Structure 1
Amino acid sequence: MPKGSCLCGAVTFEVTGPLPPPNACHCSQCRKQSGHYWASTDVARAALTIAGDDRLTWFHASAKVRRGFCSTCGSWLFWDPIGKGTIAVAMGAFDAPTHVRLAMHIHVADKGDYYDIADDLPQHPH
């Protein structure tokens, strides 16, 4: 079972089943919150178990999305499209090995001007 945590270990999580291929989001919100583009995998809500959720703080980035981070260390862990059946989990928070590889880049029309996407993966403008 894939497992992970925030930097301080106050919030831990497990995913039942294999991880879906992750994507890299280059939108300005993800870059501002994470400091660069953000890699995540979308898992079914029912497959995700969170311990220490009393240490999670949810920031409502819009009416449709909230972003979950540890209130102790600040690690950004979740991107939650409200009312949907999946939730995005930060790839960097998983304990290795994850046994998955990045599948695509999204929101590349909004990517930062300070870097290039140098792999051959599919790039989606939005």
Structure 2
Amino acid sequence: MYVGSCLCGAVTFQISGELKPPDACHCTKCRKTSGHYFASTEVARDAITIEGSDHLRWYQSSEKVRRGFCGTCGASLFFDPPHKDWIAVAMGAFDSPTKTQLELHIFVADKGDYYDITDGLPQNAQ
């Protein structure tokens, strides 16, 4: 069981089962949402329970994806493509170590010019 929350604790979540290795998305939308790149793990919809949903706000960032954040503290929590059987959860929102390792960088063609990716992990341009 993994648990996490937003900064103020108004939105909490629990995940049952194992976590997939996270990826880091460097696309412009993820950078603007998070302030840097967005590291997340995909979780089956039936494996996550969200509490405090009255504080959760959704922003439709594209035709196919919405992003969930706390309406109180503004913490970015979820990347949700409703047409998929999973939801992505921000790695920074977990309350304790996840024992996972970043697996991949995506949308590196859009990354900020102020940093380099030097960890040796695979990098996808898109």
Smaller-chain TM-score bracket:
over 0.9
Supply the distance in 2 between the matched residues of 1:97 and 1:32 (Cα, whole angstroms).
25
TM-score of the aligned structures, taking structure 2 as reference length: 0.98
Q: How does 1:84-99 map to 2 (within 5 A)?
A: 84-99=84-99
* Pair 1:106-2:67 in alignment: no
Give the match's secondary structure for 1:54.
Answer: coil
Residues 25-45 of structure 1: per-residue CA shift (max 9 Å, x gap): 000000011000010000100
Q: Please report how far the alpha carbon of residue 82 of structure 1 lies from its aligned counterpart in structure 2 after TM superposition.
A: 1.9
Residues 44-70 of structure 1: per-residue CA shift (max 9 Å, x gap): 001010000111000000110000000
Give the match's secondary structure for 1:109.
Answer: helix
2:43 is matched with: 43
Supply the distance in 2 between the matched residues of 1:103 and 1:112 (Cα, whole angstroms).
20
1:66 is matched with: 66
- Opposite residue 3 of structure 1, the aligned amino acid is V
How much identity, in percent, do the aligned residues show? 66
Q: Please report how far the alpha carbon of residue 75 of structure 1 lies from its aligned counterpart in structure 2 after TM superposition.
A: 0.3
Give the match's secondary structure for 2:54.
Answer: helix
Supply the distance in 2 between the matched residues of 1:123 and 1:58 (Cα, whole angstroms).
29
Unmatched tracts of structure 2, length 5 or more: none
Q: How does 1:1-80 map to 2 (within 5 A)?
A: 1-80=1-80
- Opposite residue 5 of structure 1, the aligned amino acid is S
Supply the distance in 1 between the matched residues of 2:26 and 2:6 (Cα, whole angstroms).
22
1:119 is matched with: 119
Supply the distance in 1 between the matched residues of 2:51 and 2:97 (Cα, whole angstroms).
21
Runs of 4+, deviation exceeding 2 Å: none
TM-score of the aligned structures, taking structure 1 as reference length: 0.98
Q: Please report how far the alpha carbon of residue 110 of structure 1 lies from its aligned counterpart in structure 2 after TM superposition.
A: 0.8
Q: Please report how far the alpha carbon of residue 115 of structure 1 lies from its aligned counterpart in structure 2 after TM superposition.
A: 0.5
- Opposite residue 66 of structure 1, the aligned amino acid is R
Q: Please report how far the alpha carbon of residue 95 of structure 1 lies from its aligned counterpart in structure 2 after TM superposition.
A: 1.2
* Root mean square deviation, CA, Å: 0.6
Q: Please report how far the alpha carbon of residue 96 of structure 1 lies from its aligned counterpart in structure 2 after TM superposition.
A: 1.6
